[in-house]
Structure 1
Amino acid sequence: MSKHAMIDIGSNSIRLVVIGIDRNYFFEELLNFKAVARLSNYIDENENLSEKGIAILLTILDRFQSILSREKNVTAIDTVATAAMRKAKNRDQVMARVKERTGLSVRLLSGLKEAYYGYYAVINSTFIENGISIDIGGGSTEVTMFLNRELVHAHSFPFGAVTLYQTYFSGGDPQAETKLESFLKNEFSQFDWLVGRGLPVIGIGGTARNLAKIDQVQQHYPMVGLHQYTIPRERLSDLTHGLAAMGQEARETMDGLSRDRSDIIVPASAVINTLVQMNRGETFMLSSEGLREGVFFEWMLHQRGVEKIPYVLNESIRHLRRNFNLDSSHTSYVKALAFQILNGVIPVIISKFPEKRTAWVLSHSADLAYIGEYVNNESSSAHTFYLLTNISINGVSHRDRLGIALVASFKNRDKMLDFAVPFEKMVTKEELKMYETLGAVLRLAHDFDRTRQHVVDEVKVKVSKKKQLQLTAYYHADAFFEEQAAQKHRKHLERAIQLPVTIHFIKH
């Protein structure tokens, strides 16, 4: 496995990330270190980065280089700098000193290139196809609009969390919040693509992450994972104004808020909230993947010879299959059988959900069914549900991840309902009924491959005149254990569809 290192020299913090990647483009984050530098505070009256600021920068980069020097197989180190270095008139001299001292070549990103990397990370790691991204750093704020995953507009504003705090809040002005909001409305209104579009706004960076963390704490959110977490527009507004109304000491001890952001969170959250309110979309969503991931995706996808990840969720499932040793042959076979059963069941179930959505849930649940066998075969259902609700999966919303977890782990109705109890705010009774039906279908499909030897060639389903669901399994070799398991578990499908179910096995 080779290692790709990235160093992000931002206005507020400097971060080192190391990602391992193999020949099949399976990748994982190996190291992640952050140092708070606030380089924006060290831009002097002549717009130069001061000697103290340079010293802080060099010290941090020395530490990062020390870590990298002990890592094996680091094949690339991509060092990028953003707003603070863009603003510094002596940036060329600073980057020369960095090169001389550490050997690192710094790539200065333009505001538009920084915005592009944020957009690129979002479309390659989330399920959002149409949206507005916002990345508020210490000294700049990048926004983009994309439609059908294609970049349409991008802009970099020359203000960020640190600079806005210095301008509006450092002097204790009681009107600071009102003045900042007026300033932001004026800035954003100059771009008609930011106003009234009704698109989801996707936040990147530390401020967005902290807002998501705080909201999860306040909502007693039961699922694990920040990536792709959404906050309704009105709740975001309440959270933003609540943070501004709190004192500095109260914010410093607030659960979910990093102590080093307890001051700049006020102007930074105001930027995000103002954009969300002006755009009039329903939600704000966090993307944990931003600039650094955008840089990595650009490099990695170029190596693969593709412009973007075609379908983000499938890429995530590819990684999960590999990490948990899922048998793709068995999975594909069971999925095909599950759809043969579902197609026969569809006419007899009353569902408020379109067939396309029902098929989507079954398909991806089949992809990850009983993933918990990797941990323990006897309790695979519980482990499957735990894993799928406690690991972040790119390309799927938290609600859909819960649905997939309920179907993929299905053992029986009571156990599924027990699993769902902590998540009652995230799932409706109608959805639970659909998940029960799909879970029963998927479990029966697994029974038809009980020996994992693919002895059942086809399952045909028809509804008799007596309102009975009849399944006929055509097989070519000994199917004793398949029939035994299927007859035992058909009761789960009977309960779900409230019809008698018969299963006949016929040898070709």
Structure 2
Amino acid sequence: MSLTQVFSGRGKTTDLEPLGVIDIGSNSVRLVVYEGAVRAAMPIFNEKVLAGLGKSVASTGRLGEESVIRALEALRRFRAIARILKVKNLRVLATAAVREAEDGSSFIQDAEAILGSPVEVLSGAKEAELAAYGIRMGFLNADGLAGDLGGGSLEIIDIYKDRLNDATTLPLGGLRLIDQTGNKIERALPLVDEVVAQVDWLSKGRGRPFYAVGGTWRALAKLHMEQTNYPLRVMHGYSIPTREAIEFCQFVRRTKKVSTLPGMDEVARARRDVVPFGALVLERVLESLAPSEVVFSVYGIREGLLFSLMPRHEQAKDPLISFCEDYARYRSRSIQHARELCTWTDALFTGDGPKETEEDRRLRHAACLLSDVGWRAHPDYRGEQSLNVIAHAGLSGIDHPGRIFLALAVYYRHVGADEGKADDFSARLRLVVSKRAQKRARIIGAAIRAAHMLSIGMPGVIDETRLFYEGQKLVLVVPKAYTALDGERLRRRFAVLAALLAREPDIRLAT
């Protein structure tokens, strides 16, 4: 069995699997190995070294000697890791610091000798393009401006679904600003404003999301989560309203000792000095754009490269459903049964049933696909473990309320819809989502719970039953071949489902 099969359970390989990407950035050097160029690719390995290649480029025009040594040592290790993981395709990218430094070409020669692979030095335009592809990888039908903040530069690009529009690269990287200002943030403010003011199309971002990419901005999101006591620590898809984000950025950059900020101890020591400058850049960009919100992304140029390597039919897939399909195939008893649940629960949301949007339907199907991923856990803890696993899973194409909805739906599938049974984590998660979403999670959890009483988690049973509304009744017709499965527990669970739908339960056994 191949490494890809071990990690993904897909049972297929291509010439690109596993695929490794080394990103030689102005601040960090990172290796990520993916299972392949597929829509919901999972990282097999991820490691970074904060080498700080760009910390003196603005003032000296050269890469720092110590930083070069650290970076090249990291590349030696990364090549060894790629060999052990049997990486078939290793792509190496370098960004602003290497692109602009006088000794950048010398560094590239050394890097290529160590890696045995060519290093592609990205132009600012190419960086922006790959950042946009990264957003397309991580979000469904993205529509807004994306900003990728590195140590040396900031790339901003306008994305509308599958179309890339205006783009620019700006000399506003965190390390560059520290170098230019002598680490005096008050000197950086007019400099940032002057550069941002030169981009005359930023107003196109007004009222649309701003997708924030880069480790420094993710660190800001982490600090905001800590300050607000947010129940999750998942960066991808975390959003903050624009005005709140601006005020938080101002708070961070004005703090005299950023090391004292709650949550800063979880930020890498080498990045802490950069955070206030990243906050300043985000603040001034948001003031200029006036977007609807800031949405943080863990998908950047590495994932963008992966996306660019996919065939169009793979790019067009729904990232959330693709992930859930793969996860169900790997972790559930039956992917076929999970798909049957999608169809079986369709009947609850047609005709006189609760109304749902296309997004509601998409999330319901995702919940059905994930509903059995905790089956190997001890029965007493399946609900709690499923809640934690799904709430923190590597989901993409979904916002945080959607993520929490999925976690709650599968939680209720195991523990029932009784709020009195809720643990502290589920109670905290419920505070983040609407009452409507909570009600839908209970309905879907109850439906899956009832279905499992008939199917025992196996395919080919519930797809032979009929589920429909008849006046004030919710009717389940069980075919003759499965009438022996009728019993107290099935009727009790079906009654819970019917009550949540404000109907009377009616189970009919075919004769």
Tell me the TM-score normalized by structure 2: 0.86
Which is higher, the Rg of structure 1 or of structure 2?
1
Q: Which residue of 2 aligns with 1:274?
A: 284
Q: 1:260 matched to which residue of 2?
A: 270
Map residues 144-159 of structure 1 onto 2, 5 A cutoff.
144-159=157-172
**Cα deviations by residue, 1:391-448 (Å, 9 ceiling, x for unpaired):** 2311111111111222233242215872541124312333323332333333333334
Local SS of the residue matching 1:124: helix
Tell me how far apart the structure 2 counterparts of residues 358 and 59 of structure 1 sit (CA, whole Å). Answer: 49
Who is 1:386 aligned against? 388
Q: CA deviation at 1:287?
A: 0.8
Shift of 1:327: 1.0
Q: Classify the secondary structure of the residue corresponding to 1:154.
A: strand
Indicate yes or no: 2:460 matched with 1:454.
yes
Distance 2:274 2:389 in 1: 35
- Indicate the SS of the match to 1:441: helix
Match of 2:441 in 1: 435
Task: Determine if the alignment matches structure 1 residue 161 to structure 2 residue 170.
Answer: no
Q: Check if 1:315 corresponds to 2:330.
A: no
Partner in structure 2 of residue 115 of structure 1: 128
What letter is aligned with 1:399?
P
Cα RMSD after superposing both structures:
2.9
Amino acid at match of 2:267: L
Deviates further, 255-264 or 137-146:
255-264
- Decide whether aligned partners of structure 1 residues 44 and 475 sit closer, same or farther in structure 2, where only a CA change above 3 A counts: closer
The one-letter amino acid of 1:384's match is S
| Alpha-carbon distance in structure 1 between the residues aligned to 2:392 and 2:233 | 5
Any conservation in 2 of the 1:124–1:309 contact (CA below 8 Å)? no
CA change 1:490–1:74 in 2 (3 A) is closer
C-alpha distance 441-202 of structure 1, shift in aligned 2 (>3 A): same
Q: 1:185 to 1:499 in 2, by over 3 A?
A: same
Aligned letter for 1:275? Answer: V
Distance 1:73 1:318 in 2: 26
Matched letter for residue 497 of structure 1: L
* 1:39 match: secondary structure: coil
Aligned-pair CA distance for 1:255: 4.1
Distance 1:447 1:191, change over 3 A: farther
Residues 96 and 152 in structure 2, CA contact (< 8 A), matched pair in contact too: yes
AA partner of residue 18 (structure 1): V
- State the 1:128 CA deviation: 5.2
- What is the DSSP-based 3-state SS (H/G/I as helix, E as strand, rest coil) of the residue aligned with 2:193? helix
Measure, in 2, the Cα distance between the counterparts of 1:121 and 1:439: 33
Task: Answer with 355-364 or 485-494: which moved more.
Answer: 355-364
- Do structure 1's residue 502 and structure 2's residue 506 form an aligned pair? yes
Q: Which 5+ residue runs of structure 2 have no aligned equivalent?
A: 4-16
Aligned with residue 487 of structure 1, among 482, 486, 491: 491
Q: 1 CA distance for matches of 2:30 and 2:98? A: 15
3-state DSSP of counterpart to 1:498: coil
- Answer yes or no: is the 8 Å Cα contact 2:450–2:494 preserved in 1: yes
What residue is the counterpart of 1:31 in the other structure? 45
Distance 1:223 1:482, change over 3 A: farther
Q: Match of 2:13?
A: none
What letter matches 1:186 in structure 2?
A
2:149 to 136, 150, 163: 136
- From 88, 96, 103, the equivalent of 1:75 is 88
- What residue number does 2:339 align with? 332
Flag the 1:148–1:499 CA change in 2: closer, same or farther, 3 A: same
**Shift in CA distance, 181/451, structure 1 to aligned 2, threshold 3 Å:** closer
Once the two structures are TM-superposed, the CA of residue 97 in structure 1 deviates from its matched residue by: 3.2
Task: Say which is worse superposed, 148-157 or 93-102, in terms of deviation.
Answer: 93-102
How many residues in Structure 1 have an aligned counterpart in Structure 2? 490
Alpha-carbon spacing, 1:230–1:444, altered in 2? closer, same or farther (3 Å): same
The CA deviation string for residues 307-327 of structure 1, in whole angstroms up to 9 with x for no partner, is: 624211111112211331341
- Residues 55, 151 of structure 2: 8 Å contact kept: no
User: Partners in 2 of 1:398 and 1:45 — Cα distance?
Assistant: 41
Which of these residues, 255, 262, 270, is aligned with residue 246 of structure 1?
255
Instruction: Say which SS state the counterpart of residue 344 (structure 2) adopts.
Output: helix
Q: Can you list the C-alpha shifts for 1:137-156, whole angstroms capped at 9, x where unaligned?
A: 11111111111232122221
Amino acid at match of 1:436: R
Change (3 A) 1:444 1:101: closer
* 3-state SS of paired residue (2:138): coil
1:46-61 counterparts in 2 under 5 A? 47-49=61-63, 54-61=68-75
Determine the structure 1 residue equivalent to 2:200: 191
- Partners of 1:26 and 1:194 in 2: how far apart? 33
- Paired position in structure 1 for 2:22: 7
Read off the aligned partner of 1:273 and give its amino acid letter. Answer: E
How far residue 199 of structure 1 moved from its aligned partner, in angstroms, is 1.2
- Structure 2 counterpart of 1:231: 240
Alpha carbons of 1:103 and 1:356: their partners in 2 closer, same or farther (altered >3 Å)? closer
Structure 1: unaligned runs, 5 residues or longer: none
- Is it true that 1:423 corresponds to 2:414 in the alignment? no
Cα distance in 1 between the residues matched to 2:21 and 2:403: 30
- Say whether the 8 Å CA contact 1:134–1:202 is kept in structure 2: yes
Q: Distance in 2 between matches of 1:368 and 1:125?
A: 19
Aligned-partner Cα distance in 2 for 1:164–1:275: 15
**1: CA distance between counterparts of 2:469 and 2:35?**
50
Distance (Å, rounded) in 1 between the aligned partners of 2:261 and 2:48: 19
Q: Please say if 1:294 is aligned against 2:304.
A: yes
Q: Which residue of 2 aligns with 1:362?
A: 364
Residues 406, 416 of structure 1: 8 Å contact kept: no
CA distance in 2, matches of 1:376, 1:221: 28
**Residue identity matched to 2:55:** N
Q: Residue 309 and residue 211 in structure 1: after superposition, are their counterparts in 2 closer, same or farther (change >3 A)?
A: farther
Q: Residue deviations 1:263-289, cap 9 Å, x none? A: 221222221222223222221111112
Q: Which range is displaced more, 387-396 or 48-57?
A: 48-57
Contact in 1 for aligned 2:222/2:233 (Cα 8 Å) = no
Tell me, in whole angstroms, the C-alpha distance in 1 between the residues paired with 2:129 and 2:20: 20
Q: Is the 8 A contact 2:18 2:87 kept in 1?
A: yes
Deviation sequence 1:170-214 (CA, Å, 0-9, x none): 3x47x4254245324423xx2324455211111111111101111
Q: In the alignment, what sits opposite 1:284?
A: 294
* 1:96 partner amino acid: Q
Change (3 A) 1:487 1:355: same
Using a 3 Å threshold, how does the CA distance of structure 1 residues 224 and 320 change in structure 2: closer, same or farther? Answer: farther
Tell whether 2:79 aligns with 1:65. yes
Deviations 1:11-62 (A, max 9, x none): 112112222349x887432322222222223438773446555444433323
2:409 aligned with 1:407, yes or no?
Answer: yes
| Kept after mapping to 1: 8 A contact 2:147/2:154 | yes
Q: Letter of the 1:123 partner, please give it.
A: R
Aligned equivalent of 1:220, options 229, 240, 249: 229
Closer, same or farther: CA 472–100 of 1 in aligned 2, 3 Å: closer
